[in-house]
Amino acid sequence: MKRLFISLARGKSMFFLQFLLINFCCFAIADQGRGGAWNLLLNSSGVVAMHMVVTYHDTVIMFDQTDAGPSGLQLGGCNRDSDPTCWAHSVEYDIASNSIRPMVLKTDTWCSSGAFLSNGTLVQTGGHGDGARRIRYFRPCSNGHCWWHESGETLSNDRWYATNQILPETDRVFVIGGLNALTYEFVPKSSPNEGAFNMQFLHETRNRREESDNLYPFVHLMPDGNLFIFANRESILFDYKNHNVVKHFPRIPGEGGRSYPSTGSSVMLPLTYEDGFSRVEVLICGGSASGAYEAARRGDLYQALRTCARMVLTDENPEWSIEEMPGPRVMNDMILLPTSDVLIINGASHGCAGWDHADRPVLHPYLYKPYQTNGSRFTVLHLSNIPRMYHSSAVLLPDGRVLVAGSNPNRHYLFDARFPTELRVETFSPHYTDPFFEPKRAQNVTVKFNHAHHGIRYGEEFVVQFDLARRPDVLEFNAYAPPFTTHSLSMGQRLLKLQCTNFTRQVDGRMRASVVAPPSPVVAPSGFGTAVAFLFYICRNSKEIARKQQNRRLDDSFLAQDQIPTRPGALPRHKGTRITTQPSQLHQFGPNSSQFGPNSHAQKFQQHQFGLNSSQFGPNCLTGKVFWLNSEAFSLMERPQFRLGWRESVHQLSRGQRGVY
């Protein structure tokens, strides 16, 4: 049985396309493929990737703290012997060329936070010392001439170890917490006199003996417009518009903390159209034992927690369910993969967050399959030989790989310590990227929408066409929002499962799928008139796969009908992978294969074609990285409109540029 899954990702007005194709008969993949693969990209990034974020220009911003002293990369035009500011503490990593560009940070970003605005600009807040109240902006560009901008506006409170969450309103960001900051505030302010608001929940969850144990709280935007906020072991549903707690959730069972410095991690599991995006479930894994921080200061490193806690927030009487990981883990990152699985990566098995406060790095990532039965959800994957401890990060790349960088449990850059400052950059390629599946691919993918104003409205249908040798019987379309990642948090990470209402093979042999856009900004946040972008995937239904695996039946049959509707009641769960474009391929857009001209509004039926002629597949899907469209590409608008427009029509990537695809 063949399945196909399309996914969309957001991080700005960006549109990066990845297509996945699968064949059930391909389960007999080698052990190496199932365990994933590691590749070293750079011996030195120059700076520690304490914070990391993927931009819509296919670059990754990495930065640490200006207070760390000399880094591994010197800035030009100054004397490093006499000027302590001569060292870079921020770089832009170009994925295609595998190269870095140093950038200047004017104030200290140590342990800060961030979120994407609707036009792809990163708003970055807080830090330490002179940076504690600063607001910074970074607008990605394609010419290597974009830099950090320090705003004249400032935060109301110091924000060191705070959390950001983009809101459904016009590019408004919710900022909460920080050391000795038991408040929340908004960027931008709704009025000149607006300040910070007291958050009683932070008072209640603070543990002074454990360095608060409620820093970097977990925050997820709910589809009802409220915020789920978790700190230490407690959680609430918070109405930020009216400044009141709607609901208190049960405490996580057991001892130990989950928030910094106990530092577990959290994801909101994918939202699906099947229930109107109404069912919300969170997963929290890892953390530190009770008293771990005080013990670590004495040199005694307690074993970390080995449990995950999972709860359906929208149940009438929600309760946590507990399951065990293959081993104890703290300071772990959790990444939603294109397959809807969760990758748990980085961290240690003893201690907590802090300088020299942890030991026994966990080198094996875990794969968590949330829709398998309890007891069969975890898989131990192949290990890296690089410890990733305090101040390490991981992000999902457009091609389905996971970029892993950073680690520095030392006060300054120190290369002769037991766990030295780590500047090497590597990728983990999940099993779905195995080249064994290269022969199968979707080609000539085209996205069409039916409006003259460059937009797909919230809740309306758009069309995806592509060439495929054999029809899949189940289609899935998913949207992924790339996060701001630091200290085991992936702020703003989100995956949506979109509805495919119709799937046919046309007379010319091309496949045609009708897909429904997300229904509202609370499901897929955006700003007024600006964009949210998406990452496209095509893959199989993982829930159905899990059922078949349990029954040990593999079916390579295909439906013969020309029209194959999606199955009602089947929650889409899937797998993803990567594709690259050849240097000669052109991504064509619009009726004239170029950017829209002045008469483009007269076009009633607009078309966007992507040349997908090279790919790599996993056992369950094919994914294809195509490009990020520049500015306002495939975007969501408050009006409501699901906007599709751009200023640059083509962003080609060469397979030979990186040598990793």
The answer to whether the beta carbons of residues 512 and 564 sit under 8 Å apart is: no
**Mean pLDDT of the region 581-607:** 28
Does 544 score more than 80 pLDDT? no
Does 599 score more than 50 pLDDT? no
> Of 98-107, 246-255, 404-413, 563-572, which range is least confident?
563-572
Q: Which residue has the tokens 């680690």?
A: 407
Residue 458 lies in a domain: yes
Task: Please state the domain count of the chain.
Answer: 1
Residue 514 lies in a domain: yes
Residue 572 lies in a domain: yes
* pLDDT tens figures, 293-314: 999 999 999 999 999 999 999 9
| For the chain, percent of residues with pLDDT exceeding 70 | 70
SS3 content of the chain, % helix, strand, coil (to 5): 10, 35, 55
Residue 189 lies in a domain: no
**Mean pLDDT of the region 213-224:** 97
The parent domain of residue 14 ranges over 2-26+439-658
Q: Which residue has the tokens 């520690």?
A: 48
Residue 526 lies in a domain: yes
The answer to whether the beta carbons of residues 620 and 540 sit under 8 Å apart is: yes
Q: Determine the pLDDT at residue 471.
A: 66
C-alpha to C-alpha distances, 390 to 60, 67, 111, 542, nearest whole angstrom: 20, 16, 11, 34
**Mean pLDDT of the region 544-562:** 33
Q: Determine the pLDDT at residue 654.
A: 26
pTM score of the predicted model: 0.80
Residue 411 lies in a domain: no
C-alpha to C-alpha distances, 403 to 281, 292, 328, 535, 615, nearest whole angstrom: 26, 29, 23, 17, 19
Residue 541 lies in a domain: yes
C-alpha atoms less than 13 angstroms from C-alpha of 480 in its C-beta half-sphere: 32
Residues sharing a CB contact under 8 Å with residue 351, sequence separation 6 or more, in sequence order? 288, 292, 296, 301, 302, 304, 330, 357, 358, 359
* pLDDT tens figures, 327-361: 999 999 999 998 899 999 999 999 999 999 999 99
* pLDDT tens figures, 175-188: 999 999 999 999 99
Higher pLDDT, 178 or 583: 178
Report DSSP state, residue 259: S
Residue 18 lies in a domain: yes
Rounding to the nearest 10 degrees, give the CA dihedral for residues 384, 386, 387, 390: -120
